[in-house]
Amino acid sequence: MIDALKAQWKGDRLMKKNSTMATSRDKIFKQPKLTIGLDLGDRTSHYCILDEAGNVILEDSLPTTPKGIRQAFGRIPRSRIALETGTHSPWVSRQLTEMGHEVIVAHARNVRLIGESSRKDDQLDARTLARLARIDPGLLGPVRHRSAQAQIHLTVIRARAALVGTRTALVNAARGLTKSYGQRLRKCGSGQINREMAKGLSPELREALDPLLGEIESLNERIAEYDRRIEQIATQVHPEVARLKQVKGVGTLIALTYVLTLDDPQRFRRSRDAGCFLGLRPGRRNSGQSEPQLHISKEGDRYLRTLLVQGAHYILGPFGQDSDLRRWGLKLAERGGKNAKKRAVIAVARKLAVLLHKLWVSGEVYEPLRNSHKVVSAVA
What is the distance between the terminal CA atoms of the chain, rounded to a whole angstrom?
112
pLDDT of residue 119: 66
Q: Which tops the pLDDT comparison, 141 or 232?
A: 232
Give the DSSP per-residue string, 86-113: SSSHHHHHHHHHHTT-EEEEE-TTT-HH
* Mean pLDDT value of segment 59-83: 93
- pLDDT range class, residue 19, cuts 50, 70, 90: very low
* DSSP 3-state percent helix, strand, coil across the chain (nearest 5): 60, 10, 30
pLDDT of residue 198: 85
Parallel, antiparallel, or unpaired: how do β-strands 102-106 and 80-84 relate?
parallel
Burial group, residue 288, by CB count within 10 angstroms (0-12, 13-18, 19+): exposed
Q: Which tops the pLDDT comparison, 133 or 338?
A: 133
d(CA 78, CA 76): 7
d(CA 123, CA 226): 42
Amino acid at 230: I
25-47 tens-digit pLDDT: 555 555 668 999 999 999 999 99
pLDDT of residue 279: 86
Please determine, for residue 186, whether its predicted confidence score (pLDDT) is greater than 90: no
Share of the chain above pLDDT 90, in %: 56
For residue 103, give Cα distances in angstroms to 27, 96, 143. 22, 7, 10
pLDDT of residue 276: 87
* Mean pLDDT value of segment 188-200: 87
d(CA 286, CA 91): 38
pLDDT of residue 373: 62
pLDDT of residue 29: 55
Please determine, for residue 96, whether its predicted confidence score (pLDDT) is greater than 70: yes
* Mean pLDDT value of segment 246-250: 94
Share of the chain above pLDDT 70, in %: 84
Mean pLDDT of the chain: 85
Q: CA 45, 46, 52: angle at the middle one, nearest 5? A: 135
pLDDT of residue 28: 55
Burial group, residue 111, by CB count within 10 angstroms (0-12, 13-18, 19+): buried
pLDDT of residue 112: 66
- pLDDT range class, residue 147, cuts 50, 70, 90: confident
275-315 tens-digit pLDDT: 888 888 776 666 566 656 667 777 788 999 999 999 999 99
pLDDT of residue 137: 85
